[in-house]
Amino acid sequence: MRPNRLLPVAVTLSVVAVAIAAGIFLWDLYMDSPWTRDGRVRAEVIQVAPDVAGAVVEIHVADNQPVARGDVLFVVDRARYELALTRAEASVAALKEQAAQRRREAERRTRLGTSAITVESREQAESAAVQAEAGLRQAEADLASARLNLERTMVRAPVNGYVTNLHLNLGDYVTAGRPAFALVDSDSYYVVGYFEETKIPRIREGDPVSIRLMGRDGEIRGKVAGIARAIVDRDASDGGDLVANVNPTFSWVRLAQRIPVRVALDPLPADLVLSAGMTATVVVEPAAE
């Protein structure tokens, strides 16, 4: 065969070989490399609830406003709690005087001889003094509780974060323990990547991670913080007699389960605005073994 006829054949074979190699590489990259487009930005969301009930008389924040830990978010009507504190202070003052009087009486009767007073009277006086002191301690505890309730009419931010979904208005009546709005912890952002179970063996805690947010150029960095140890098994549940209720059918085509992998974020760019729920592509860079 002439050389000029061998050249097209060699070129064709080279192209086919390159195509096969590229196909194998891409197949391995797609099927086995630890990456996923199913990533989500997550953050801890605190449900802000007052510790006391009452009407809202002041609101110090707006929706989506950043706040620092300890900032006053809103204030519950303080009038009734101020009155409760005044009553508690008066009760402590009265019981303190009563306890002192009972103690003096008990000491005087203790100094008297049995010819002047019976043993029973001395015991009764001592018992009255002890009961008065116990009542004073109870009143002091009530006073501390009243002070705490008054202080907690000012609802403060428990963490640094952002107010979200604020629908609180002046005059609204809030109930103790019932959330008024949500606060996103700005120091708690992380990313969860949902990886096929076939890719989990290539992921280790501490592996560096590249994250690309949808709609933003460039990448942010992080590290694998942990791999979820359980997901819901939708094919099994407990029966009425508490034994396993197993699905009798089996699908021959089984999709790989997706396992959540938590990624801790490195320091973020100052101009980056993160919102919990954003989607991301997550690529784990396995450490060399």
Q: What sign results for the dihedral spanned by CA atoms 268, 273, 277, 282?
A: negative
Q: pTM of this prediction? A: 0.76
pLDDT(61) > 80: yes
Task: Please give the Cα distance from 235 to 192 (Å, whole number).
Answer: 24
Give the separation between CA 41 and CA 56, rounded to whole angstroms.
Answer: 33
pLDDT at 147: 96
Model pLDDT, residue 17: 65
- State pLDDT tens for residues 25-39: 555 555 557 889 999
In whole angstroms, give the CA distance from residue 157 to residue 71.
5
pLDDT at position 246, please?
Answer: 76
Which residue's entry shows tokens 């990313």?
A: 191
How confident is the model at residue 110, as a pLDDT?
73
What is the average per-residue pLDDT within 73-92? 95
Indicate the range of 101-115, 127-141, 204-218, 226-240 predicted with least confidence.
101-115
Per the prediction, the chain carries an average pLDDT of 86
Contact 159, 46 (CB under 8 A): yes
Instruction: Round to whole Å and give the CA distance between 88 and 177.
Output: 24
Cα distance between residue 28 and residue 103, in whole Å: 87
pLDDT of residue 287: 67
Range scoring the smallest mean pLDDT among 57-61, 181-185, 259-263, 266-270:
266-270
Q: What's the alpha-carbon Rg for the chain, to the nearest Å?
A: 35
Residue 220: exposed, middle, or buried by beta-carbon count in 10 A (0-12, 13-18, 19+)? Answer: buried
CA angle in degrees (0–180, nearest 5) for 72-74-76: 120
Task: Tell me the CATH number for domain 35-45+186-284.
Answer: 2.40.30.170
How is residue 27 written in tokens? 């197949």
CATH topology (fold) of 78-152: Helix Hairpins (1.10.287)
Q: Is the pLDDT of residue 180 over 80?
A: yes
| Residue intervals in the chain for CATH 1.10.287 | 78-152
For the record, the structure tokens of 51 come out as 């510790």
Q: pLDDT band for position 215 (50/70/90)?
A: confident
Ranges of CATH 2.40.30.170 domains, the chain: 35-45+186-284
Q: How confident is the model over 238-283, as pLDDT tens digits?
A: 666 778 777 777 676 677 889 999 999 999 988 899 999 999 999 9
Instruction: Give the chain as a 3 state SS string.
Output: CCHHHHHHHHHHHHHHHHHHHHHHHHHHHHHCCCEEEEEEEECCEEEECCCCCEEEEEECCCCCCEECCCCEEEEECCHHHHHHHHHHHHHHHHHHHHHHHHHHHHHHHHHCCCCCCCHHHHHHHHHHHHHHHHHHHHHHHHHHHHHHHHHCCEEECCCCEEEECCCCCCCCEECCCCCCEEEEECCCCEEEEEEECCCHHHCCCCCEEEEEECCCCCCEEEEEEEECCCCCCCCEEECCCCCEEECCCCCCCCCCCEEEEEEEECCCCCCCCCCCCCEEEEEECCCCC
